[in-house]
Amino acid sequence: MAQIAGRQVGPRGFGLMNFTWRSDPVPDEQAFDTMRAALANDMNFWNGGEFYGTPEVNSMTLLKRYFEKYPEDSDKVVLSIKGGLRADLVPDGSPENIRRSLDFTLEKLGGRKVDVFECARRDPNVPLATTFGVIEKEYIKTGKVGGICLSEVSAATIHEAAKITTIAGVEVELSLFSTDVLSNGVAAACAEHDIPLIAYSPLGRGMLTGRFQSAADIPTTDIRHHLPRFQPENFETNLQLVRQVEDLAAKKGCTPAQLALGWLNSLSRRPGMPTIIPIPGSTTVDRVVENAKLVDLTDEEMAEIDATLAKFEVAGSRYGEGHPINT
């Protein structure tokens, strides 16, 4: 168990993006069943975003409806919401936009506290102290927000932020497909400051589940069509890692997704590593139950994965050109 903003969270979190950031939002009945299954499996750290969906249908409106139906669950969930972007998804850490983002979030939630708020990207034009100051003085001290997280930041930003305020967590992309933070100082900085690392897309945006066997399997309206790693010229190369993960999972007697999440679980126990909380997204109860199963990997199995990763080079970058990451 880990602590985020003074609250206990389970070894797995739960991502809400897949419910509302799509052309066909998941019906409430299915979404609620899936969310209840996550909570029943100790996946109580729920991660959403102001911009996951439209102003009318988003993470907060879904959560508001859920907590209205299941008010007893509200205190069980540790809620993390990303915001701080303008309407054109450009980072804006100014006091005016932080107030707008948080007021919008809290209003859509129906007044429910945001346990952790994180700017989705750092605004290079506004000092961290200015952004944090607004959150602390106007929202944390008034009980509307519990703590501050960082998202997609560099090691230098983590060190800088830790000197200004208490950082509850750092959200980054981390999976067998995305291991940059293990070598660029981000994981080491989190460990140094005892900050949990929150791993989004821990299943390689679905690739590591075996869901996609070719680029043609990706729905035409899916965001993956805009990501370099899912382009036809890169897909077949990246599928090679999926095949190796499938082979390793078969030997372990688990699913590829369970192996990928087990790797993160075992990775966090290595010396010099921070606590890692994966937040896989799911839209069905069956997938939640699968992802919740904790698979322990032996040192020998971890060494085999290390060897596999050392020989494999992922084709394509995580995002398209010009997208701000690790700022």
Tell which phi-psi region holds residue 21, choosing left (phi > 0), alpha (psi between -120 and 50) or beta: beta
* Active-site option among 52, 66, 139, 200: 52
Query: What's residue 106's pLDDT?
Result: 98
**Cβ 21 vs Cβ 223: under 8 Å:** yes
Q: Contact at 8 Å (CB) between 18 and 282?
A: yes
pLDDT per position in the chain (327 positions), as tens?
A: 788 999 999 999 999 998 887 777 789 999 999 999 999 999 999 999 999 988 889 999 999 999 999 999 999 999 999 999 999 999 999 999 999 999 999 999 998 999 999 999 999 999 999 999 999 999 999 999 999 999 999 999 999 999 999 999 999 999 998 999 999 999 999 999 999 999 999 998 777 787 776 666 666 666 665 776 766 777 777 778 888 889 999 999 999 999 999 999 999 999 999 999 999 999 999 999 999 999 999 999 999 999 988 887 775 566 655 555 556
- The pLDDT score that the predictor gives to residue 316 is 59
Catalytic status, residue 66: no
The set of residues, in sequence order, having a beta carbon less than 8 Å from that of 176 and lying 6+ positions away, is: 204, 208, 241, 245, 260, 263, 305, 309
Give the max Cα distance, the chain. Answer: 54
- The length of the chain in residues reads 327
Find the helix or strand (DSSP H, E) in which 56 lies.
none
The domain ranges of the chain are: 2-206+257-297
The rounded radius of gyration (Å) of the Cα atoms in the chain is 19
Architecture of domain 2-206+257-297: Alpha-Beta Barrel (3.20)
SS3 20: helix
Strand boundaries in 174-307, DSSP class E: 197-200, 276-278
How many helices (DSSP H) and strands (DSSP E) are in the chain?
A: 11, 10
Q: What is the pLDDT of residue 103?
A: 98
